Amino acid sequence: MYNLQCILDPEKILIGGGISKQAILVKKIRENLQKIYATILFDIPHAIVDTCKYFNDSNLIGALYNYYLQFPEE
| 13-63: pLDDT as tens digits | 999 888 888 989 999 999 999 999 999 998 888 999 999 989 889 888 989
The predicted structure's pLDDT at residue 45? 87
SS3 15: strand
Cross-strand partners of 32: none
The predicted structure's pLDDT at residue 26? 93
Asked if residues 50 and 14 have their Cβ atoms less than 8 Å apart, the reply is yes
pTM for the structure as a whole: 0.74
The predicted structure's pLDDT at residue 16? 86
Asked if residues 12 and 54 have their Cβ atoms less than 8 Å apart, the reply is no
End-to-end CA distance of the chain: 42
